[in-house]
Amino acid sequence: MLWVCTVCGYVHEGEEAPEKCPKCGSPKEAFEALSEDAAKKIYDSDRTNDIHMAIVHYAMKIKALAKEGIELNLDTGCVDVFRKAHDEAWVMKQRSKAEIETHVGKGKW
């Protein structure tokens, strides 16, 4: 069962609300039980946000690899492929970061 602190939005998992909010210190009474639908949305958002963060992580690795490839400068065709990978990785990273920001704004966090 999930409980949300109505003061700060902290989400607690357990049979009961915590004695005290670990974030803002509000008492147990400040917590509200989330409906099954709302809880499912939070669990799905958790996984989705993890996936976005993994994409950001891998995109940064691709960017670093592409940069190394550009610096090795073997031939123009090769450098061109690395340049494209470098730019595409940037787009992937920023797109997922922007989506995470949207989730946070909608309370999908």
- Confirm or reject binding of residue 89 to Zn ion (CB under 5 A): no
The long-range contacts involving 8-17, CB below 8 angstroms and separated by at least 24 positions, are: 9/107, 11/42
Shortest Å distance, C-beta 13 to Zn ion: 14
**Contact set for Zn ion, span 13-42 (CB under 5 A):** 21, 23-24, 26
- Confirm or reject binding of residue 45 to Zn ion (CB under 5 A): no
**16 Cβ contact list (under 8 Å, min separation 6):** 3, 28
Q: Which residues bind Zn ion (CB under 5 A)?
A: 5, 7-8, 10, 21, 23-24, 26
